[in-house]
Amino acid sequence: MAESVCRSLRDGSLEGEHAPALSISDTLDSPLGSHVFHHFFYSLASNIAASKSQARALVLVAYRRSPSFYLDLLKSRGVDPSLFDKKLLVLDCYSDPLGWKDRLLKSASGAQNPAKSLSSVFKSVKDISKLLSLILELGQGLVGHGKEKFAVAIDSVSDMLRHASLQLVARLISNLRSHDNISCIFWLIHSDLHEPRVSSALEYISTMTANLEPVIEPNDGQRRVSENLYNIEQNSYRGKLHVHLKRRNGRVKLHSEEVHVEQVGIKILAMSSENAIVNQSLLPKVQFNLQLSEKERDDRAKVVLPFEHQGNGETIQIYDGRRSLSEEQKDPHLKVPSITGKTSTDTSTGNGEIHYLRDSDDERPDSDEDPDDDLDI
C-alpha cells in the first residue's frame, strides 16, 4: 500500500484541512528507514518534476546527509537536474549545525565550500522557531506567496530531537502542517533512539505512518551477533513495512508489505509467500478456510465483473477523479496503448453506452468498506 502513500503525498491537502503527514520509523533491528525515506522522497520529487502533484516545490531539511548526496540520489535515478533550482531546495542542517566551522572560519582565512547554491546552510539548529521561519521562507521563495503549495521533507527527526525538546519539534511539525502553503510533509525517525512517548506524540500529528519491522524477530535472549547471524543477514536487506492510513473519521487501515533493498532503491512487494506459509502453519486448525489457496485466488481474479469495462480491444481509461476525460485522453501517461489503434473512430459511432470505470485505488468489489467513507460533504 506504499503506492497509496505516494498518492496521498502527491495529492496533497484539501482546502481547509491540515496537510497529510507521513511518519517513517525504523529500528536498529530493521535499519532500512533511510531507504524507505529515499523512496518516498524520490517518488514525490519525480511527481513534482512532472507537475503531477499538488505541491509545486519541495523543501528538504537535511540533517543526516549532505545536500549533494540527495541531489546525486535524484540525478542517479533520472530526475532532470535542471528542475532542481526551481523546484527543490535543501535546507542544510548537516554541514554546520552548530556554527563551529563558521567560528573557525572567522578565526582563520578558510576555504570556500564548493557547490552550495542549491542549499542554504543553517547554523543554529537549536533555534527551532528560526528553522520554521526559514523553511517557510525557502518554500515561499520557490512558489511565491499565492495559493501554490510546497512539500516539506525532514530526513531525520531523531537528529532534530537531539537539539530540541519534543514539544518544540512537535510544534514545528504541526505548525508546518497547518500552514496554508504546505501541501504535505514527511519525515524519518529512528524510534529506538527515543522513548516510546516520542513516537506516539509524532504519530498523533501524522495522517500516515510507515513502520519498519524486521522480517524475522530477533531473539531477545541472544544478544550476541553470532547466535543471530541468519536473522541479521535477512533483516539487513529486507523488512516488513506496516503502513497505517488514518481516515478523517478515525478509521485506520493497516497494510503490511515487504521491502527489499535492490541495486537501485527499494522494491515494495506483497508479503512473501514464505511468510504466508509460516503464518498459515501457525494458525489454529479450523473447519473452514480463513485464506484462499493459490488456485482459488487465480480463479477469483478471472471472474468477469458484469459492471466493469473489459477492454475488448478498446482502451481502458482509469479515471483518477481529478481531471476531465478529454484532458486525460491527451495525456499519454494515463492511457494504455490501444490494441487496434482505431478506437477513437469506433467509439465515435457508439450508441451511448455507459462504462463503469474502476477508480485506480478502488476497493476490491467485495470489500466491507463503506463506499461513502471518502465523500466530502
Partner 1 sequence: MSSNASNLLEEALGIGGGRTIGGRVVLVEDCVETSGAFVLHHLMKRVLSLESRGTLLLLALAHPFSHYDRILRKMGCNLSSQRESNRLHFLDMLRLEFPGQIDGETKEVGFQELFSKLQTAIEVISERGNNNGGITIMIDDISMLEIAAHGCLDQILDFLHYCITLTSEYGCALVILSHGDIYSSDEATGLLSSLEYLADIVVKTEPLATGLAADVHGQLTVLNRGSSQGQGYSMNKFRNFHFKLKENGAEYFYPGSIKT
**Binding pattern for the stretch 248-277 against partner 1, x by CB under 8 A and - elsewhere:** -------------x-xx-------------
- Spatial CB neighbours of 163, under 8 Å, sequence gap ≥ 6: 97, 125, 126
**Binding pattern for the stretch 161-190 against partner 1, x by CB under 8 A and - elsewhere:** -x---------------------------x
Sign of CA dihedral 206, 54, 68, 33: positive
Nearer CB in complex with partner 1: 112/312? 112
Q: Please measure the distance between the N-terminal and C-terminal CA atoms of the chain and give it in whole angstroms.
A: 26
Nearer CB in complex with partner 1: 98/270? 98
Q: How many residues bind partner 1 (CB under 8 A)?
A: 39
Q: Based on the shown chain and the rule CB under 8 A, indicate whether residue 229 belongs to the binding site for partner 1.
A: yes
Nearer CB in complex with partner 1: 102/362? 102
Burial label for 341, CB within 10 Å (0-12, 13-18, 19+), is: exposed
> Closest distance between partner 1 and the C-beta of residue 374, in Å?
38
Query: Judged by CB under 8 A, which of 14, 50, 81, 113 binds partner 1?
Result: 113
Nearer CB in complex with partner 1: 96/257? 96
C-alpha distances (whole Å) from 286 to each of 259, 273, 281, 283, 297 are 31, 21, 12, 8, 20
Q: Based on the shown chain and the rule CB under 8 A, indicate whether residue 17 belongs to the binding site for partner 1.
A: no
Q: Based on the shown chain and the rule CB under 8 A, indicate whether residue 84 belongs to the binding site for partner 1.
A: no
Burial label for 23, CB within 10 Å (0-12, 13-18, 19+), is: buried
Q: Based on the shown chain and the rule CB under 8 A, indicate whether residue 240 belongs to the binding site for partner 1.
A: no
Strand 238-246 with 208-214, pairing = antiparallel
Q: Based on the shown chain and the rule CB under 8 A, indicate whether residue 98 belongs to the binding site for partner 1.
A: yes
Nearer CB in complex with partner 1: 141/265? 265
Give the Cα separation of 189 and 155 in Å (integer).
8
Give the Cα separation of 259 and 20 in Å (integer).
23
Query: Judged by CB under 8 A, which of 4, 95, 124, 338 binds partner 1?
Result: 95
Query: Judged by CB under 8 A, which of 15, 16, 51, 111 binds partner 1?
Result: 111
**Binding pattern for the stretch 118-137 against partner 1, x by CB under 8 A and - elsewhere:** --------------------
Sign of CA dihedral 363, 239, 184, 79: negative
Q: Which stretch binds partner 1 (CB under 8 A): 81-89, 108-116, 292-300, 303-311?
A: 108-116
Q: Based on the shown chain and the rule CB under 8 A, indicate whether residue 199 belongs to the binding site for partner 1.
A: no
- Residue-wise burial string across 120-151, b where 16 or more C-beta atoms lie within 10 A, e elsewhere: bbbbebeebeebbebbbebbbebbeeeebbbb
Q: Based on the shown chain and the rule CB under 8 A, indicate whether residue 305 belongs to the binding site for partner 1.
A: no
Whether 2 contacts 166, CB under 8 Å:
no
- Spatial CB neighbours of 279, under 8 Å, sequence gap ≥ 6: none
Query: Judged by CB under 8 A, which of 108, 290, 301, 354 binds partner 1?
Result: 108
Phi, psi angle pair for 51, to nearest 5°: 55, 35
Q: Based on the shown chain and the rule CB under 8 A, indicate whether residue 11 belongs to the binding site for partner 1.
A: no
C-alpha distances (whole Å) from 49 to each of 4, 54, 56, 125, 147 are 19, 11, 8, 29, 19
Sign of CA dihedral 114, 64, 92, 82: positive
Nearer CB in complex with partner 1: 47/68? 68
Cell 491537502 appears where? 13
Query: Judged by CB under 8 A, which of 17, 80, 85, 104 binds partner 1?
Result: 104
Query: Judged by CB under 8 A, which of 83, 232, 271, 357 binds partner 1?
Result: 232
Q: Which stretch binds partner 1 (CB under 8 A): 154-162, 198-206, 292-300, 342-350?
A: 154-162
Q: Based on the shown chain and the rule CB under 8 A, indicate whether residue 69 belongs to the binding site for partner 1.
A: yes
Q: Based on the shown chain and the rule CB under 8 A, indicate whether residue 218 belongs to the binding site for partner 1.
A: no
Collapsing DSSP states into helix, strand and coil, what is residue 92? strand
Binding site for partner 1 (CB under 8 A): 28, 31, 65-66, 68-69, 72-73, 76, 94-98, 100-101, 103-104, 108, 111, 113, 158-159, 162, 190, 192-193, 224-227, 229, 232-233, 236-237, 261, 263-264
